[in-house]
Amino acid sequence: MRMLNNFIAFIDAGGPVMYPLTVLGVMIFVLGIYQIIWLGIWSLKSDLYACAGAPMWAKKAIALARHQTGFAGLTILESIELCFSRMEDCLTRRVPAMRFMAQISTLMGFLGTVTGMVRVFNTVSQLGTVTPADLAGGIHEALFTTVYGLILAIIAWGLTYCIEALSRRHLRHLELLVINELEKTTGSLPGVTDAPQPEK
Report, as an integer, the average pLDDT of 23-33.
93
Angle, CA 35 vertex, CA 106 and CA 101 arms, to 5°: 15
Report, as an integer, the average pLDDT of 21-44.
88
Distance CA 74, CA 82 (A): 10
> Is the residue at 147 inside a domain?
yes
- What pLDDT is attached to residue 17? 83
Taken in order 141, 109, 148, 28, is the CA torsion positive or negative?
positive
Q: Which of 150, 156, 143 has its CA nearest to residue 106?
A: 150
Q: Which of 24-28, 96-100, 112-116 has the lowest mean pLDDT?
A: 112-116
The answer to whether residue 173 scores a pLDDT higher than 70 is yes
Q: Which of 164, 150, 166 has its CA nearest to residue 24?
A: 150
Instruction: Provide the 3-class DSSP secondary structure of residue 70.
Output: coil
- Chain segment 124-162, per-residue pLDDT in tens: 777 777 677 766 767 777 788 888 999 999 999 999 999
φ, ψ dihedrals at 32, nearest 5°:
-65, -50
Of 20 and 5, the one with more pLDDT: 20
Distance CA 21, CA 52 (A): 32
> Is the residue at 13 inside a domain?
no
Domain extent, residue 161, equals 19-184
- Chain segment 83-107, per-residue pLDDT in tens: 888 888 888 888 999 999 999 999 9
- The predicted model scores a pTM of 0.76
The answer to whether residue 67 scores a pLDDT higher than 50 is yes
- What pLDDT is attached to residue 50? 58
- What pLDDT is attached to residue 164? 92
> Is the residue at 195 inside a domain?
no
> Is the residue at 156 inside a domain?
yes
Distance CA 41, CA 176 (A): 20
CA-to-CA separations, 1 to 6, 16, 22, 28, in angstroms, rounded: 9, 22, 19, 26
Distance CA 190, CA 76 (A): 8
Of 132 and 171, the one with more pLDDT: 171
> Is the residue at 88 inside a domain?
yes
- pLDDT-derived band at 195 (thresholds 50, 70, 90) equals very low
Count how many domains the chain has. 1
Report, as an integer, the average pLDDT of 59-78.
86
Residue 52 belongs to what H/E stretch?
none
